[in-house]
């Protein structure tokens, strides 16, 4: 019996795809982040009701890294450069400033979907029967 490799979360892939789609269409990607999530490093002066909205455009960020577990970049807030680091799990959604189009993430986007197995799948090889 072979072990199935661990599946990864969909969220970082969906986030990168939406970011690219917005940038390709000349729109400004904005990220909604749960600022109370452990490991979130954002300027606290911009947090409202436990959330912060971040502009992820190429003109607003430097050294943008959209990784599988963390997104990081440097940006100016009121003229002062800050390093921003956000665990992917803290990202609540991404939308285009101009149109409002985007995606809201759910907890399911963090948990990899299990491989499809039928209820009677025991790992045994199927057996053929002769039917007359």
Task: Give the residue extent of every domain in the chain.
Answer: 11-108
pLDDT of res. 114: 53
d(CA 7, CA 53): 29
Whole-number pLDDT of residue 131:
72
For residue 2 the two structure tokens come to 């072979």
Enter the tokens of residue 80.
């002062």
Name the CATH code of domain 11-108 (choices 2.60.260.20, 3.90.1170.50, 3.40.190.10, 2.30.30.220).
2.30.30.220
pTM for this prediction: 0.77
Alpha carbon 68 to its chain's center: 8
Q: Alpha-carbon distance 70 to 86, whole Å?
A: 6
Digit-by-digit pLDDT tens for the chain (132 residues) are 556 667 788 999 999 999 999 999 999 999 999 999 999 999 999 999 999 999 999 999 999 999 999 999 999 999 999 999 999 999 999 999 999 999 999 876 665 555 555 555 556 666 666 776
């Amino acid at each position: 019996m072979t072990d199935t490799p661990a599946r990864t979360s969909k969220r970082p892939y969906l986030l990168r795809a939406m970011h690219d789609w917005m940038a390709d269409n000349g729109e400004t990607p904005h990220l909604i982040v749960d600022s109370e999530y452990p490991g979130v490093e954002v300027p606290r002066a911009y947090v409202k009701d436990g959330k912060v909205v971040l502009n992820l455009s190429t003109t607003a960020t430097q050294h943008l890294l959209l990784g599988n577990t963390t997104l990081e970049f440097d940006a100016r807030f009121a003229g002062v450069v800050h390093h921003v680091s956000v665990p992917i799990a803290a990202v609540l959604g991404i939308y285009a400033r101009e149109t409002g189009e985007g995606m809201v993430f759910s907890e399911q986007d963090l948990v990899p979907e299990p491989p499809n197995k039928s209820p009677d799948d025991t790992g045994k090889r199927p057996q053929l029967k002769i039917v007359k």
